[in-house]
Amino acid sequence: MILAPSILAADFLHLGDACLIVNDSEADWFHLDVMDGRFVPNISYGMSVIKQLKKAGKKFFDVHLMIEEPEKYTEAFLDAGADGLTVHLEACKNLHRNIQQIKSLGMKAGVAINPHSPIMLLQDIINDLDLVNLMSVNPGFGAQSFIPYSLQKIKDLKNMITASRSSALIEVDGGVSLLNARSILEAGADVLVAGNAVFGSADPNDTIRQFKLLGQ
């Protein structure tokens, strides 16, 4: 199991400290949410912040673009330090072209899918993907509750990946906690994004350790 703490839930006055927590923990990736106020009703941070975080962060930078027209900024996010770039199915007019653009620049390519979107929309592109970010909350804000029917979507997506012989990882993003992580993993998830559960806890390192134990 890959654990990706979400920097969106960290204390923005002490982002360097948040990077050190992830570096020194058993967590595997940094998860970085970029919001533009258009695709989602919130604005987070962009390339300049990620570039600074990259100076401190020593693990894989999993950048999740919740933005319109992501193709305009793909190279800029590579330059900022993205190792993997995930775009939203709902934001891309030509999804295949977007994925090929990301791959051509040497990054891992992912597609995020909102709770209301059926996973069958990924059928024709699943073999081109390194990752599917299955949103288990409506994107735009942290600290939301996990949508229960996401568990069935994880199972259905896992079946699609297996049937297609795709190597795509299933990432689950939104409302992930120590209380529901085991059921999410048992449904077929490979990557857990945990924000408030990690950075809102009294001891983030211990919380990360507990998440990792659930994946053994």
What is residue 107's three-state secondary structure?
coil
- Global confidence as pTM: 0.96
Domain ranges across the chain: 2-214
**DSSP string for 176-199:** --TTTHHHHHHHT-SEEEESHHHH
| Residue where the block lists tokens 């969106």 | 8
Report how far residue 93's alpha carbon sits from residue 169's, in angstroms, rounded to the nearest whole number. 23
Report pLDDT digits (tens) over 118-155.
999 999 999 999 999 999 998 877 667 899 999 999 99
pLDDT band at 216 (very low <50, low <70, confident <90, very high): confident
Buried b (16+ CB within 10 A) or exposed e, 190-212: bbbbbbbbbbebeebeebbeebb
Report pLDDT digits (tens) over 77-90.
999 999 999 999 99
Of the candidates 33, 36, 130, 190, the residue annotated as catalytic is 33
Using alpha carbons, select from 110, 125, 117 the residue that is nearest to residue 170: 110
Rg, Å, the chain Cα set: 16
Report how far residue 214's alpha carbon sits from residue 103's, in angstroms, rounded to the nearest whole number. 32
Q: Is 33 a catalytic residue?
A: yes
Distances (CA, A) of 151 to 147, 148, 174, 182, 215: 8, 6, 12, 11, 16
Is the CB of residue 86 less than 8 Å from the CB of residue 63?
yes
- Sequence-separated (6 or more) residues with CB below 8 Å from residue 40: 66, 139, 140
CATH code for residues 2-214: 3.20.20.70
Report the DSSP beta bridge partners of residue 2: 191
- Sequence-separated (6 or more) residues with CB below 8 Å from residue 51: 79, 80, 81
Report pLDDT digits (tens) over 49-79.
999 999 999 999 999 999 999 999 999 999 9
Share of the chain above pLDDT 90, in %: 95
**DSSP string for 138-177:** -TT-SSPPPPTTHHHHHHHHHHHHHHHT--PEEEEESS--
Is the CB of residue 5 less than 8 Å from the CB of residue 201?
no
Q: Is 83 a catalytic residue?
A: no
Burial environment of residue 22 by CB neighbours within 10 A (0 to 12, 13 to 18, 19 or more): buried
Q: Which residue has the higher pLDDT, 111 or 144?
A: 111
Of the candidates 36, 62, 173, 190, the residue annotated as catalytic is 173
